[in-house]
Amino acid sequence: MRRIVLFVALLLAGCHVAGPEHFVVFYSPLSSVLDAQGVQVIATVAERARQRPGTPVVVSGYADAEIGVADAQKLAAKRSHAVTDALVADGVDPARIARHGVGGVDFSMDSIETRRVEITLGEN
């Protein structure tokens, strides 16, 4: 009952109560360099993170399936580090950022779908 009252009070006060938000940064084949669109996604995530202080940020990297599992794991790690570094440079506290699933490769997906980093803002 208390949670419902608090939720209604927050809504009436004009506060936005939100669940997790999901963002995706795509990469060129075999690359771990952020392009202009990736930089824009990072800026959006950083802004949303500033609006939701204390909310955890989860970064999950994936890589090109066609390069082999060992190399894909290394590339996925480089991609997730690039996203994490960019978020920190945009003012997100590194203590809020956790990297999960780095190196995960789903061979059933198209190549473009495996060349990504997923960012979740909020509980997952």
Q: Which pLDDT band holds residue 35 (cuts at 50, 70, 90)?
A: very high
Residue 96 falls inside a structural domain? yes
Q: In sequence order, which residues have a C-beta less than 8 Å from that of residue 113 and are 6 or more positions away?
A: 62, 106
Residue 10 falls inside a structural domain? no
Helix (H, G, I), strand (E, B) or coil at 28: coil
Residue 13 falls inside a structural domain? no
Q: Which pLDDT band holds residue 110 (cuts at 50, 70, 90)?
A: low
Residue 14 falls inside a structural domain? no
Q: In sequence order, which residues have a C-beta less than 8 Å from that of residue 105 and are 6 or more positions away?
A: 62, 63, 65, 69, 72, 73, 76, 114
Could you give the CA distance from residue 17 to residue 11 in angstroms, rounded to a whole number?
7
Residue 24 falls inside a structural domain? yes
Q: What are the φ and ψ backbone dihedral angles of 29, each rounded to 5 degrees?
A: -55, 135
Average pLDDT value for residue range 27-35: 92
Could you give the CA distance from residue 87 to residue 113 in angstroms, rounded to a whole number?
22
**Bigger pLDDT: 47 vs 7:** 47
Segments forming the whole domain that contains residue 30: 20-121
Statement: residue 45 has pLDDT above 80: yes
Q: Which pLDDT band holds residue 64 (cuts at 50, 70, 90)?
A: confident
Q: Determine what percent of the chain is predicted with pLDDT higher than 90.
A: 51
Q: What are the φ and ψ backbone dihedral angles of 12, each rounded to 5 degrees?
A: -65, -30
Statement: residue 4 has pLDDT above 60: no
Q: Which pLDDT band holds residue 12 (cuts at 50, 70, 90)?
A: very low
Average pLDDT value for residue range 93-109: 73
Statement: residue 57 has pLDDT above 60: yes
The count of domains in the chain is: 1
Residue 100 falls inside a structural domain? yes
Q: How high is the pLDDT of residue 25?
A: 95
Q: How high is the pLDDT of residue 72?
A: 84
